[in-house]
Structure 1
Amino acid sequence: MQPLIEHEGVVIPLNRANIDTDMLLPKQYLKSLESFGFGDFLFDDERYLDPGEIDTPIESRRRNPACILNSSPYDQGSVVLAQANFGCGSSREHAVWALRDFGVRVVVAPSFGDIFRNNCFNNGVLPLQLEQAQIDALFAVVESQPGIRAKVSVSERMLWLGDRQIAFELEEGRRQRLLQGLDEIGETLAFAERIKAYENMRKAEEPWLFRE
């Protein structure tokens, strides 16, 4: 997993609440056994005028000019600004994979679906939660300055947008995993030698537990 220490990118404003995981990535793309390659299918139902499947060539599908992700500079955006309950719905991790593969590293919203939030941390995407008043103020800036860039520092727990500087809360354990590029499995494997030493000690002290 790619570490997330500091990130700067164009803000993609999605000024609506309850964007669920099926909107982020429709169910037909869950057939893939891979964990990469979903960027072209992010907001699939909104980005394309033609239906698609995992093996439908993207070049054969007409893009919807009304979708923000199809217009510059948002097609290169990497910071999503949204409203409450972002990532609600099913537990599909594919939704986060689609955001990540599109290039999104930070999602800013007043609240998130719980499982979606955990999936973000496990895939190097920061779900940055702020108060509603702060979100509304950020939308006012972004919508008055299309294409504005935001900067986020995980190490300093700070967001910069225009002339605004906002400190945010982030649990230390999650912060360290983002900084080091570790998911929960990677964090566990960092203690592999200690785990192995403990198992060897158990085998020496209580060998009957390990008899086949």
Structure 2
Amino acid sequence: MAGWNIIEGRAVALPQDNIDTDQLIPARFMSVPRKDGYGPYLLHDLRFDAEGAVRPDMPLNRHPEASILVTRRNFGSGSSREAAVYALVDFGIKAVIAPSFGDIFASNAVNNGLLPARLPEDKIEALIARLGVDAAVMTVDLTDGVIRIGNEVIAFDLDPIWRLKLLNGWDDIDMTASHGAAIAAFRAARAKHAPHAMLPQET
């Protein structure tokens, strides 16, 4: 997974609370092989009616080129399915901006290069009002921790470890591997001072 520093893309408002992982990708689509891509199933039951017809007023149908979502609180709540993140990423979404996220969803997002950026609710509501039914160019700067739209610059909240992982394109295993020298030094010292605690091949 490649890391990134700056995203410049089209932002669209999705003015709903509590968009859960079953809405992000309904369970009936999760048997599709990952290699085939989950993008077509993103928010399927919001984007299409019961007969499969496109809902023209749904924001992602109006603006399928959007790569940044601005939405309301508790985005990604519900089950822990990582496929919800796959659906967003495969659709082309690179950042979701909301007041709060489901904890497991947010962690899965970072491990797959998707930014879960938090803003206070008043800032979110102002952005939703500004975007309306249109899409606008927005820049997200990970290093500076800011969102730029027009002449406005808005600082967003992100755990510093998550920022580091996104910048480097790391998942949890990569994060651990980045401490390889310290781990090797600890193992060597442990083998010297407590050989009885080591496995035979480690002494």
Give TM-score, length-normalised by structure 2.
Answer: 0.87
Letter of the structure 1 residue corresponding to residue 142 of structure 2? V
Task: Say yes or no: does 1:3 pair with 2:3.
Answer: yes
Q: SS at 2:46's partner residue? A: helix
Give the match for residue 111 of structure 2: 122
Higher mean alpha-carbon deviation, 39-48 vs 177-186, is at 39-48
Which amino acid counterpart does residue 18 of structure 1 have in structure 2? N
RMSD: 2.3
Using the alignment, how far apart are the partners of 2:95 and 2:132 within structure 1?
18
Where does residue 55 of structure 1 map in the other structure? Answer: none
Corresponding residue number in structure 1 for 2:42: 42
Matching of residue 170 in structure 1 with residue 174 in structure 2: no
Conserved? CA contact 1:11–1:78, under 8 Å: yes
Q: 1:199 to 1:29 in 2, by over 3 A?
A: farther
Query: Matches of 1:11 and 1:174 in 2, distance apart?
Result: 22
Q: Would you say 1:158 and 2:146 are equivalent positions?
A: yes
- 1:135: which partner in 2? 124
Contact 1:36–1:97, Cα closer than 8 Å, also in 2? no
SS of match in other structure, 1:148: strand
Alignment match of 1:191 (pick from 179, 182, 185): 179
SS of alignment partner, residue 152 of structure 1: strand
Shift of 1:7: 0.4
Query: Deviation of residue 186 (structure 1)?
Result: 0.8
Identical positions, percent? 36
Which residue does the alignment assign to 2:64? 75
Q: Distance in 2 between matches of 1:151 and 1:36?
A: 29
Tell me which residue corresponds to 1:56: none
Contact 1:35 1:94 in 2 (8 A): no
Unaligned runs of 5+ in 2: none
Partner of 2:169: 181
- Could you list the runs of 5+ residues in structure 1 that have no partner in the other structure? 52-60
Measure how far apart 1:200 and its partner are: 4.3
Q: By how many angstroms is 1:167 displaced?
A: 1.3
Kindly report which structure 2 residues correspond to 1:91-102, keeping only aligned pairs within 5 A, or say none.
91-102=80-91
Task: State TM-score, norm by structure 1.
Answer: 0.84
Asked if the contact 2:68/2:97 (under 8 Å) is kept, the reply is: yes
How many residue pairs get aligned? The number is: 200
Q: Deviations over 1:167-198 (max 9, x none)?
A: 12322222111111111111112233443443
Structure 1 residues 188 and 35, CA gap change in structure 2 (3 angstroms): farther
Return the letter of the residue paired with 1:174: W
Are 2:73 and 2:100, in contact at CA under 8 Å, matched by a contact in 1?
yes
Q: Is the 8 A contact 2:12 2:136 kept in 1?
A: no
